[in-house]
Amino acid sequence: MTLNETSIHVYSHEEVSALVALTTFILVLSVPANILVLLGYLTSPSARRKPSNLLLINMTLSELLTAVIVIPLQLVVHCTNSSLARKDGPWCKTVGVLTYPFYIVTVATMVCISIDRFYAIREPLKYKSKMTAKCIGLMIVYTWFHAAAFSFIFGFVVGVGYNKLSAVCSIVWDDHMGVSVFVAATHILLPFVLLMVLNLNLVASLRKQNRNLMNQLDRELNVTDRVHAGKVHTRQAQERRVAGMVFWIISTYLICWLPILVTRSLQVTPVRSSPLIDAISSLILHLSVVINPMLNLKFRKELRASVKRMCIRRNDVMPIRVLSRSFLSAVDADRSKLTGPVWTQSRS
């Protein structure tokens, strides 16, 4: 059965309910989490002064846009099966074009962050002179340019429409399997390899530096045991934190991207996954917009401190406003009792 002969999939009531529940769960967590992280970076002067944090802001912004634009639009297509989607109308083409750029920006920024972190550990003396704000800015511009070029070129060459086999609005890869394999290799597998190589080398370099530091401290007779133990403890804590961060970065990428890579790979074989499985694999990919801000809060001490200060300021301001209104109301009541109509006339 060819693609044109395939009937358009219509989700059952139970399938729609499951998709709505999972999508709502992701939205409820991802939108406030990314907003909180974004405000945490933007309201912290020390965070804004570090050029590398601009990459984190860029990734958080792209994930926030994914949460508020891409996920709801895809849910509408899944749930409505509208005639616009079935006839490859402007609604479906809009959803298809917007599906890709924000994820490409996120993945490209993750690679840039890994390069920045790797260079900071391997070349600490040259880091500030090389990874300047201008260099970071060029990285950010490249991520958005690459995403826009990808959507325009492949959307124009391959075409955007309603994929009847997967029941989604996207770039129609089914008639261009060679292009689909190339895109999967360069935009899913290659970033994963880069992330794994860069981050594993980062951990290895940090461990090597720690061993060299410990050997140097052992040779210094004038260093007290307390100072020696403090430096070793600090470096070991940093190593554990970086190792944990690397583990979660690689694990998150695998967990979120592997299902959609498998389902898309099945399209080049006689074995095809059902539209519901394809939709669930897309939702698993959307989990990255929930997990990444949580990892930011877990491993970024400066960000946690900024968010904490922001919450404390809000908690301090709100009671003051409430007390001020209550105090002014009480004062007005007391004055009206003392002066009667005279005070009322003077206020008016």
Q: Which amino acid is at 153?
A: I
> 258 lies in a domain?
yes
Enumerate residues 6+ apart whose C-beta is below 8 A from 83. Answer: 89
Beta bridge partners, 161, equal 170
Query: Is residue 207, in this structure, part of any structural domain at all?
Result: yes
Within-domain flag for 63: yes
User: CATH number of the domain that 136 lies in?
Assistant: 1.20.1070.10
Angle between the N-to-C axes of helices 13-42 and 275-286, in degrees from 0 to 180, rounded to the nearest 10 = 20
What local confidence, expressed as pLDDT, does residue 33 receive?
93
Tell whether 76 is covered by a domain: yes
Please give the Cα distance from 307 to 313 (Å, whole number): 10
- Whole-angstrom distance, CA of residue 174 vs CA of residue 166: 10
Of the candidates 260, 247, 246, 118, the one whose C-alpha atom is nearest the C-alpha of residue 188 is: 260
Classify residue 342: in a domain, yes or no. Answer: no
Q: What is the pLDDT of residue 3?
A: 36
> What is the total count of domains within the chain?
1
Spatial separation of the C-alpha atoms in residues 181 and 187, rounded to whole Å:
10
Q: Going residue by residue through the chain (348 aa), what tens digit of pLDDT does each one get?
A: 333 334 455 677 888 888 888 888 999 999 999 999 999 999 888 777 888 899 999 999 999 999 999 888 877 776 765 555 555 677 778 888 888 899 999 999 999 999 998 888 888 888 888 889 999 999 999 999 999 999 888 877 777 877 766 667 777 776 677 777 888 888 889 999 999 999 888 888 888 887 777 777 666 655 455 455 555 567 667 667 777 888 888 888 989 999 888 887 777 677 777 778 888 888 899 999 999 999 988 888 888 888 888 888 766 554 545 444 554 455 455 545 545 544 444 444
Residue 3 located in a structural domain: no
Helix (H, G, I), strand (E, B) or coil at 318: helix
330 occurs within a structural domain: no
Structural domain boundaries enclosing 234: 13-311
Tokens 């007779």 sit at which residue?
221
Whether 210 is covered by a domain: the verdict is yes
Distance CA 157, CA 100 (A): 15
